[in-house]
Amino acid sequence: MNILVVGSGGREHAIIWKLAQSSKAEKIYCAPGNGGIADIAECLPVDAVDIEGMVQATKQKKIDLVVVAPDDPLAKGMVDAMQKNGIRAFGPTAEAARIESSKGFSKNLMKKYGIPTADYALFSDWEEALEYLNNQKYPLVVKADGLALGKGVIICSSQKEAEDAVIGIMKEKRFGEAGRKVVIEEFLEGTEVSILAFTDGKTIVPMPGSQDHKRALDGDKGLNTGGMGTFSPSRIYTPELAQNCMEKIYLPTINALNSEGITFKGVLYFGLILTKDGPKVLEYNARFGDPETQVVLPALETDLVDIFEAVIDGKLDRISVNWSEKASVCVIMASGGYPSSYKKGYEIKGIEQAEADSNIIVFHAGTKKEKGRYYTNGGRVLGVTAVDTDLSKARERAYRAVEKINFKDAHYRKDIGLNSFS
């Protein structure tokens, strides 16, 4: 079959890399893609949020299956548009994707159905939000209600920081329309774990647990980013904890959505924090995480095309989703200055040498390819992923590969996957 994957990052590269292993994938396209994706798929010059353009490209290329990977096109209704045109599409509808595109919606859903999460308040008026801050305990968390590229969450250690965050988000519109409302919630202490799960709206199949390093600098310091590295499996996500989460979080979330008349089909991402009072939900995402996908999919043994089709057809309970017991570590190589300002267009060297190790996969994110050479074209440039028998070996392998790759002002954390993180 002909498959089109929507998006241009490391997540999309990982999805395409796994799809390419399926005997059912005859031709893979990606729109708009990147330099590395272009090596294994035909890239189409269609913006990821251009719904009409994507529908037309799908018809022109006689696409049998569309995989909508990023949050924005999901929130804007790309899956809905595909369905209206008789095109099979993997991913939630815009209504279902609200669980990510509106933090207020997801928090209200959790409160209504008793799903454990932080206490919160939702505001659409910035002056009311500022008044609310007068009687709060600190630290607390201020979140833009809408999609903000993973950067709309601000941890505030004082009332002044919280006030600045509210004004920046709501009055100064730092994140545009995503900041029309804010969620102000209690700060939860604990270790974060990311759980991605396939679901057809009835059956839910969690993937192996992973952990993400969100801060830009070693020791979890610096600004929040889209993610500077991940590892899987999580050392602290035990089978007992997984069962607890299934009973108290995963199934209740699917049931809550169904009770609201919403059928969620796709990948549902649970951003969990393991507190002294048990696991709680920090956030939901309505799609594969990035860079979690880059460490989870290498362990998948079942044909990804079969899973996508089972989800679309509501038959996920009829297939067995199997995983290897190997571990993966992904180190993000970013442009100097990320997540703030950075320059593009620097040549990237050493990828071929890194991938000479068959247990290394270099997933491209912010890259472009010209005349056979790769150049930086974004903040997060590469996700260097290593697979091995355990996390310590995978970590050593990943950093050996990173040392072989270079581009001007390359920045990466040196503590991805360390024991101290868990």
pLDDT at 122 (0 to 100): 96
pLDDT at 152 (0 to 100): 86
> For the whole model, what pTM was predicted?
0.95
pLDDT at 422 (0 to 100): 42
pLDDT at 148 (0 to 100): 84
pLDDT at 149 (0 to 100): 74
Topology annotation, domain 2-93: Rossmann fold (3.40.50)
Q: What DSSP letter does each residue of 49-96 carry, written as one string?
A: T-HHHHHHHHHHTT-SEEEE-SHHHHHTTHHHHHHHTT--EES--TTT
Burial of residue 388, with CB atoms counted within 10 A of its CB: 0-12 exposed, 13-18 middle, 19 or more buried: middle
* Sheet order of strands, 27-32 included: 42-43, 27-32, 2-7, 65-68, 89-90
Q: Where are the domains of the chain?
A: 2-93, 119-186, 191-318, 327-421
| CATH, domain range 191-318 | 3.30.470.20
Express each pLDDT in 174-229 by its tens digit. 999 999 999 999 999 999 999 999 999 999 999 999 999 999 999 999 988 989 99
Strand 182-186 to strand 140-144: parallel, antiparallel, or no bridges (unpaired)? Answer: antiparallel
Cα angle value 411/417/419 (rounded, 5°): 130
User: What dihedral do alpha carbons 117, 94, 73, 6 form, nearest 10°?
Assistant: 100
Per-residue pLDDT of the chain in tens (422 residues, 90 and over written 9): 999 999 999 999 999 999 999 999 999 999 999 999 999 999 999 999 999 999 999 999 999 999 999 999 999 999 999 999 999 999 999 999 999 999 999 999 999 999 999 999 999 999 999 999 998 999 999 999 999 877 788 999 999 999 999 999 999 999 999 999 999 999 999 999 999 999 999 999 999 999 999 999 999 999 889 899 999 999 999 999 999 999 999 999 999 999 999 999 999 999 999 999 999 999 999 999 999 999 999 999 999 999 999 999 999 999 999 999 999 999 999 999 999 999 999 999 999 999 999 999 999 999 999 999 999 999 999 999 999 999 999 999 999 999 999 999 999 999 999 864 44
CA distances from 253 to 22, 108, 205, 265 (A): 31, 12, 13, 13
- Tell me the HSE value of 381 on the side-chain side, using a 13 A CA sphere: 30
| CATH, domain range 119-186 | 3.30.1490.20
Closest CA to 143 of 268, 288, 282: 282
Closest CA to 147 of 124, 122, 178, 176: 178
Helix, strand or coil for residue 211? Answer: strand
Longest dimension (CA), the chain: 60
| CATH, domain range 327-421 | 3.90.600.10
Closest CA to 36 of 58, 7, 65, 56: 7
Whose structure tokens read 């290897």? 324
Closest CA to 52 of 22, 17, 84, 10: 84
